[in-house]
Structure 1
Amino acid sequence: MDPDFLNVFTLPVALDQVGAENNIAQGEKRKLIKPTSHNNPKLEELKLLLIDWINTTLKQEHIVVKSLEEDLFDGLVLHHLLAILTKDLLSTLHLLIAIAKHFQPNLAIPPNVRVETITIENTSRGLKTETAVEYITDIKENLEDQSNDAFDELFSRAPDKLDAVKQVFLQFVNQHVGKLGLNVKDIESQFADGVILLLLIGQLEGYFLNLRDFFLTPASTTEMLHNVNLAVDLLTDGGLLNFSVNSEDIVKGDMKTTMRILYCLYSKYKAKET
């Protein structure tokens, strides 16, 4: 969790920093890497590794790539496949990583590389922007789990800020489950049966949750645990969890574990609140 957690609300991004809005046709939507993310050291490390891998692989063809955006765009390296991406670095990175993982599974691709993205849509009412955080490479648990450390510190050293953090989460949760006519007032008790958590994930991730897959009104601890396990599986499959979770802790109403789960969703979707 970010040290300045209470100040995480993202300010609107000036469109002139993106420099691509003039090329967007009405009705078109395009996702770009925000300029501030181009200075991310992990992103630079990833780009250099991919360039080195391409050059090593194509050495016999006497092809040398120096820039992912420029050298792959002309179709020489990946021919017509990348030509449709119009120098889109984000799509290029996703595609190259998929190719690299397929043909060289042992390639040491750095994990946890993420960028801030901005999606620009030219609507009849003008330009509409939406920011988000997107992982480019696999999420893996770090030796130093920053999320866990931050919440440990919050509970042990800054209990006076705990209520403020709860209110931030409650506002975030109710903004989304409120669309279903639900209202959450107590994080500790209302997430224990997994129902609110599943419905929140469904709202945010766009899942259609079949009522036969979970217990809408669980009548036992076993049914509650089933719901929470399903929620954890969905979060894991969606790449939102980078730490292990004991579902029983959530069923027991463990506040710290529940808040860590909520933070995984909040950190991805907080920008959509504006």
Structure 2
Amino acid sequence: MADCRAEDCEEEKDKSSGRQGPERRLIIQSTSLNDPKLSKLKEVLIDWTNRTLKVEHIVVRSLEEDLYDGLVLHHLLRRLAGVQLQVDEIALSADAQVRKLEVILAALNETLEINEEKSKWSVKLIHSRDLLATLHILVAMARRFQPDLVLPANVSVEVIQCEVTKSGIKSDKQTELITSQSNSSEDLQRESNKECPIDELFKLEAHKIETVKKAILHFVNKNMSSLGLNVTDLEKQFADGVILLLLIGQLEGFFIPLYQFHLCPVGFPEMLHNVTLALDLLIDRGLPVQSVNPEDIVSQDISATVKLLYYLFKRHKNK
């Protein structure tokens, strides 16, 4: 991305041949690429993407270079929205990548309820490694699928809009907003800093704590009965992560392959692996459990265990 040049616009003119209407391209000015807010947004989005796809061993290092072929977007859409698409896992040729992106973006726009003509991304832009379009699409996905994710507010960049018309090439400078103050980032930050209701609960009388624990225990056993399992001790029976993983699978409607966790864990490291995997899965599904320490669960900390189960209970109690 750099200042608009004649050859950039000429390239857009070549690409637009045979299409109706003017062809537009927003090109970020080089001075905006060094904006600390933009750098922070990229960092947050990369971190969120990597946390979401951690269990699939997918690592994103560059938004421009790692999302253009559709693989990452395909996996994000599948994990965040449960959308299954019949596309090649890996598309090697440019034509195959474009065809894959067409299917993915059509499904994504439908899921986000965004009209293709009004979206700020396209197959062409994503495949050409357009940073601005890539940022817009990830911000839209984060807002929809993990609204508690705190994005830097009021991020904007200076762009040159190149427009190819029948009469020639026009360009003008403008400001493009990526996240706005209405993004509620500050509100989300305040919300994330608020004490969890379970933290408040453990400041109350013992009998009130027991009432909530019984409600959660009933919820757990109701959903585990089909597996022939019964939980009587929240602290001890969730410490090794096995029942927790099985419960997540039941509630979220997916099967966790047995090779991904220790079915009969021996020792602290294997138990910690199971619980960490469970927390990663819940974060991937948009549950705000980032503050829960897996070591606390393994160590049978009742407040940490109840907090974790509370978020599952809150999401699935009416199912």
In the superposition, the TM-score normalised over structure 2's length comes to 0.45
CA displacement 1:33-67 (0-9 Å, x = unmatched): xxxxxxxxxxxxxxxxxxxxxxxxxxxxxxxxxxx
Counterparts of 1:97-176 in structure 2, within 5 Å, are 103=133, 105=135, 137=147, 139-140=149-150, 142-145=189-192, 148-176=195-223
CA distance in 2, matches of 1:155, 1:255: 10
Cα distance per residue 1:217-257 (max 9 Å; x no partner) = 11111110010011011111111125322110000011111
**TM-score scaled by length of structure 1:** 0.51
**Shift in alpha-carbon separation, 1:144–1:212, aligned structure 2, 3 A:** same
Structure 2 counterpart of 1:234, one-letter code: L
The Cα of 1:267 is off from its aligned counterpart by: 1.1
Query: Of the two, which has the highest radius of gyration?
Result: 2
Task: Note if contact 2:120-2:137 (Cα within 8 Å) is conserved in structure 1.
Answer: no
Change (3 A) 1:149 1:202: closer
**Separation in 2 of the partners of 1:262 and 1:174?**
12
- RMSD (Å), alpha carbons: 3.6
Structure 1 equivalent of residue 300 of structure 2 = 253
Q: How many angstroms apart in 2 are the aligned matches of 1:264 and 1:146?
A: 16
The separation in 2 between residues aligned to 1:174 and 1:98, in whole angstroms, is: 46
Match of 2:310 in 1: 263
Q: Kindly indicate whether residue 228 of structure 2 is the aligned counterpart of residue 218 of structure 1.
A: no
Give structure 2 stretches of 5+ with no counterpart: 1-102, 123-130, 151-187
CA contact (8 A) 2:283 2:290 kept: no
> Corresponding residue for 1:236?
283
The one-letter code of the counterpart of 1:246 is N
| Superposition deviation, residue 110 in structure 1 | 9.8
Determine which of 92, 107, 111 is the counterpart of 2:113: 92
- How far the C-alpha of 1:146 sits from its partner, in A, is 7.2
Give yes or no for contact 1:111–1:137 (8 Å, CA) kept in 2: no
8 Å CA contact 2:219–2:313 kept in 1: the answer is: yes
Unaligned regions of 5+ residues in structure 1, if any?
1-80, 115-134
Tell me the equivalent position of 1:10.
none
Q: Read off the aligned partner of 1:220 and give its amino acid letter.
A: G
- The total of aligned residue pairs comes to 167
Q: Look up the match of 2:274.
A: 227
- CA contact under 8 A between 1:145 and 1:243: conserved in structure 2? no
Shift, 1:159, TM fit: 3.0
Structure 1 CA distance for aligned equivalents of residues 119 and 297 of structure 2: 35
For residue 183 of structure 1, the aligned residue among 230, 233, 241 is: 230
Partner-residue secondary structure (3-state), 1:212: helix
Tell me the distance in 1 between the aligned counterparts of 2:143 and 2:115: 11
